[in-house]
Amino acid sequence: MDRNAELIFTGDELLRGDIVNTNQAYLGQRLLDLGIFATHAISVADDLADIVGTIRDALARRPEVLVLSGGLGPTEDDLTREATAEALGVPLEHHEELLEQIRDRFAARGYEMGESNGKQAQLPQGATAIPIAGTAPGFFLERQGTLVVALPGVPWELKEMWEGTIEPRLAAQPGSGAGHAVRRIGVFGIGESMAAEKLADLPWRGSDVEIGTRASLEELTIILRGPATPEGSRRLDEIQARVCSALGDRVLGVNGPGLPQIVGRLLLDAGSTVAVAESCTGGLVGKRFTDVPGSSEYFLGGVTAYSNEVKTALLGVPAELLARHGAVSAEVAGAMAEGVQRLLSSDCALSTTGVAGPGGGTEEKPVGLVFIGSVVRGVTEVERLRLFGRRDQIRERAALAALDLLRRRLQRELAGI
Amino acid sequence: MDRNAELIFTGDELLRGDIVNTNQAYLGQRLLDLGIFATHAISVADDLADIVGTIRDALARRPEVLVLSGGLGPTEDDLTREATAEALGVPLEHHEELLEQIRDRFAARGYEMGESNGKQAQLPQGATAIPIAGTAPGFFLERQGTLVVALPGVPWELKEMWEGTIEPRLAAQPGSGAGHAVRRIGVFGIGESMAAEKLADLPWRGSDVEIGTRASLEELTIILRGPATPEGSRRLDEIQARVCSALGDRVLGVNGPGLPQIVGRLLLDAGSTVAVAESCTGGLVGKRFTDVPGSSEYFLGGVTAYSNEVKTALLGVPAELLARHGAVSAEVAGAMAEGVQRLLSSDCALSTTGVAGPGGGTEEKPVGLVFIGSVVRGVTEVERLRLFGRRDQIRERAALAALDLLRRRLQRELAGI
């Protein structure tokens, strides 16, 4: 890979371990999608000489892009403006229009701007300000073929400036972005090693297509990268089609949104509403549904039935069923889904009941045993899961597995299968 | 701070953004608790010359500790052994006993060791092997006053070697470890700047106590660090007492657990059960309660009433109240909490209703307006919040604010105020 970048993160909090640096992974990924590889990512303390030295060392390696993150606030420890100016040997210049923007931001929240914010309107000579996302202005400038970019350390502010200002700029450069194509195939309900096994015979070895995987709680992502030429595009299409066919209905989509958005879209397409009855997930399924703006169009609500009394009294799960099969059983999962569907008069319903741990497991019903119930068009289906990991992982996976069960059922419904 | 460290992380996956580097925060924090400050943390690609150069630059700054993480596997990309040897100008030496350990590890899992694993038994001359945690051996050696440590990139393996071998070594050094005390004061419902204002007059300036803050969604943590001498301990006690008295009932505790655990403990102490009625948080309050193992002892369950129909039909919120005040109002928050308390026959209840955004805001009821309702011993109290941030932040904060309202009410109850 020819095009490269360097990343510098300032802030004692990164070195004291007060904060996990998620900006590094974010920037690394976004740059790579443009065909630019980050070769160094350096966290440095809030010390002017150290920051200046780090910037100089990075510039000496002549990267195409140098991203600085953090140190743009109004306090004494915010040194990125001064350090950049010193490293480049240029003075700082006052930008009155920037000061106005900062003042307006404060006024909108009913605060008055402090005196210390004045320094936020100072930029190294030659720099262009990036529109304020939160309260700290960013900036960028060109220096001997390197695009130097300074962004805030707050992740959402950094993202907004990166995607709003810097990424379009880099993508517009000749030979950029367009030269590199990425396909992200989202997959749910299959592990990394099983996916690797299923994909072992695919014909990308020796080709110019690179394949990688990234496992997160939400999904397994299979990443295909290749040249964005017509020929490369055909190669990517071919491999993508083979991956999708090998993994069947485990595939969520290509370069698409996450599971909660997908299920929301399917519910809208089907004109259906949904309700949830949760035991071991304690509200997480509802949380996942309502993470999506506009989910009130299809998500009616739910009942979290953590105690057996609530399962019986509110969801109408027969006490006899609980006594015979136990709360963690296929029978109770089905009755919970049916109960909440009746209670809220929804079209579809989901339920969860399981042993999240760390305590409460038995030989017959070990930690990680979870039943997911679903009702779609009056038909109840239950799936049994054996999940691994810590309590929080088991709960998160169970909630997502419930969404995924509804996804597969709605997709079959809509396809008329 | 006099004692310092440098951290070097190798691996393309860190620079491509396939992985978030949690080892950096972990090591930063553990080192700091020994009184050692990490001044640089550098992620570098799997390139021999780059890694050698980075090690040399770090050694030139003469840190007390240099930690390398990653690159200890058996593949071609695992270069830490070679790079360390080259940077120090020493040869690699074969350790037969290490090869045996690796072979045994494989055998225990029913596998045969591959030929490529042979290189894992090669260590730079003068290095001591660290007992294997997973499958990759680590090592350490002294070089001109710097302790050079190489650990695997897999977080649990790194932790095991750090805490099992390296930390005891560093703590045993004269003037270390025991010489440093940390107090973490958890605070909720107050911002960083307001906390700074309230603490401005405290007498730590010029003393040997350092104060820092860490802001997370869950809490604001005020961190006091000082010498662990009897005199230093008295200083820390004094400042801690002043901080706690300045921040009053905003203080969650010192070196204590998080809000959900605290509220759970208070409910157990009061012998009370709780139920939740959620609108804008969509299940998050229940999720937070049930994050805690054993929460079934006091958390009965709840109703997520995302639609107004569910608020009326299930929670018994009068339709007239919804029509007159709107779903986002103090009146409806109170009625929701009372409704779920009746429905689930709990001792206490919490409710949330608000505008999480990004859409749905009006001038009168803007995005971020949230009402939190609570019932404790038959008495309803509602708080009005004006939250800022994105949808997910507003929802998380609203859920935690609900827990915090119950915390403050239960603390008053238990104190008989």
Whether residues A229 and A266 share a domain: the answer is no
Q: Please compute the mean of the pLDDT values over residues B140-161 and round it to a whole number.
A: 94
**Contact between B25 and A25 using a beta-carbon 8 Å cutoff:** no
Q: Please report residues of B whose CB lies closer than 8 A to that of A106.
A: none
**Contact between A282 and B299 using a beta-carbon 8 Å cutoff:** yes
Whether residues B36 and B159 share a domain: the answer is yes
Whether residues A226 and A310 share a domain: the answer is no
Å between B295 CA and nearest CA of chain A: 9
B111: CATH: 3.40.980.10
Query: What DSSP designation does A295 have?
Result: G
Place of tokens 């069960």: A405
A229: CATH: 3.30.70.2860
**Contact between B47 and A30 using a beta-carbon 8 Å cutoff:** no
Of the residues A218, A239, A254, which one is the last residue of a structural domain?
Answer: A254
Each residue's pLDDT expressed in tens, for chain A with a length of 417 residues: 478 999 999 999 899 888 899 999 999 989 988 889 999 999 999 999 999 999 999 999 999 999 999 999 888 889 999 999 999 999 999 999 999 988 888 887 777 787 778 889 999 999 999 988 877 899 999 999 999 999 999 998 999 999 999 999 998 776 554 567 889 999 999 887 778 788 877 766 667 888 877 778 889 999 888 887 888 888 899 999 999 999 999 999 998 899 999 999 999 999 999 999 999 999 999 999 999 999 999 999 999 999 999 999 999 999 999 999 999 999 999 999 999 999 999 999 999 999 999 999 999 999 999 999 999 999 999 999 999 888 998 999 999 999 999 999 999 999 987
**Contact between B17 and A28 using a beta-carbon 8 Å cutoff:** yes
Q: Cis before residue A358, ω within 30 degrees of 0?
A: yes
Instruction: Round to whole Å and give the CA distance between A189 and B36.
Output: 43
Of the residues A171, A205, A227, which one is the last residue of a structural domain?
Answer: A171
Whether residues B275 and B248 share a domain: the answer is no
Q: Please report residues of B whose CB lies closer than 8 A to that of A287.
A: 281-284, 287, 395
Q: How many domains in chain B?
A: 3
Neighbours of B26 (CB within 10 A): 17
Amino acid found at A333? A
Whether residues B153 and B14 share a domain: the answer is yes
Q: Give pTM, 2 decimals.
A: 0.81
Å between B118 CA and nearest CA of chain A: 24
Q: Please report residues of B whose CB lies closer than 8 A to that of A356.
A: 290, 293
Phi and psi based region of residue A153 (left: phi greater than 0; alpha: psi -120 to 50; beta: remaining):
alpha
Give the N- to C-terminal CA distance of chain A in Å, as an integer.
Answer: 46
**Contact between B14 and A24 using a beta-carbon 8 Å cutoff:** yes
Å between B417 CA and nearest CA of chain A: 31
Suggest the residue from B48, B159, B306 to mutate for an interface test with chain A (most A CBs closer than 10 A). B306
Beta bridge partners of B94: B122
Whether residues B167 and B241 share a domain: the answer is no
ipTM over 0.95: no
Of the residues A144, A171, A198, which one is the last residue of a structural domain?
Answer: A171
Whether residues A164 and A144 share a domain: the answer is yes
pLDDT at position A84 is 98
3-state secondary structure of B137: coil
CB pairs under 8 A between A and B: 242
Considering only the beta carbons, identify the residue of B37, B44, B304 that sits closest to A15: B37
What proportion of chain B, given as a percentage, has pLDDT over 90?
A: 71
Q: Please compute the mean of the pLDDT values over residues B407-411 and round it to a whole number.
A: 97
Å between A350 CA and nearest CA of chain B: 14
Whether residues A355 and A239 share a domain: the answer is no
- Tell me whether residue A92 is exposed, middle or buried, using C-beta atoms within 10 angstroms of its C-beta: 0 to 12, 13 to 18, 19 or more: middle
Beta strand extents in A45-143 (DSSP E only):
65-69, 92-94, 122-124, 128-130, 138-143
pLDDT at position A114 is 77
Whether residues B39 and B148 share a domain: the answer is yes
Q: Please report residues of B whose CB lies closer than 8 A to that of A27.
A: 17
**Contact between B24 and A25 using a beta-carbon 8 Å cutoff:** no
- Computed from CA positions of residues A165, A171, A172, A173, in that sequence, does the dihedral angle turn out positive or negative? positive
B363, B368, B369, B372: CA torsion to nearest 10: 170
Å between A25 CA and nearest CA of chain B: 4
Å between A391 CA and nearest CA of chain B: 8
Considering only the beta carbons, identify the residue of A22, A302, A391 that sits closest to B293: A391
pLDDT, tens digit, 9 for 90 and up, residues B360-374: 999 999 999 999 999
Res B131 pLDDT > 80: yes
Whether residues A80 and A146 share a domain: the answer is yes
What proportion of chain B, given as a percentage, has pLDDT over 70?
A: 97
Query: How much is the mean pLDDT over chain B?
Result: 91
pLDDT at position A179 is 61
Nearest residue on chain A to B44, alpha-carbon basis: A40
Q: Please report residues of A whose CB lies closer than 8 A to that of B18.
A: 25, 28-29, 212, 214
Q: Which two tokens stand for residue B397?
A: 């904060």
pLDDT at position B1 is 44
Suggest the residue from B10, B15, B185, B353 to mutate for an interface test with chain A (most A CBs closer than 10 A). B15
Quote the domain boundaries for residue A185. 180-254
Q: Please compute the mean of the pLDDT values over residues B320-328 and round it to a whole number.
A: 97
Å between B275 CA and nearest CA of chain A: 9
**Contact between A306 and B299 using a beta-carbon 8 Å cutoff:** yes
pLDDT, tens digit, 9 for 90 and up, residues B228-272: 788 888 889 999 999 999 999 999 999 889 999 999 999 999 999
**Contact between B284 and A283 using a beta-carbon 8 Å cutoff:** yes
Instruction: Round to whole Å and give the CA distance between A321 and A304.
Output: 18
**Contact between B18 and A214 using a beta-carbon 8 Å cutoff:** yes
A353: CATH: 3.90.950.20
Amino acid found at A378? G
List all residues 6 or more positions away from B245 whose beta carbon is below 8 Å from its beta carbon: none
3-state secondary structure of A375: strand
Give the N- to C-terminal CA distance of chain B in Å, as an integer.
Answer: 44
Whether residues B281 and B243 share a domain: the answer is no
Buried b (16+ CB within 10 A) or exposed e, A116-151: ebebbbbbbeebebbebbbbbbbbbbeeeebbbbbb
Whether residues A97 and A240 share a domain: the answer is no
Output the CA–CA distances (angstroms, integers) from residue A301 to A294, A402, B295, B305, in the order listed. Answer: 13, 15, 22, 5
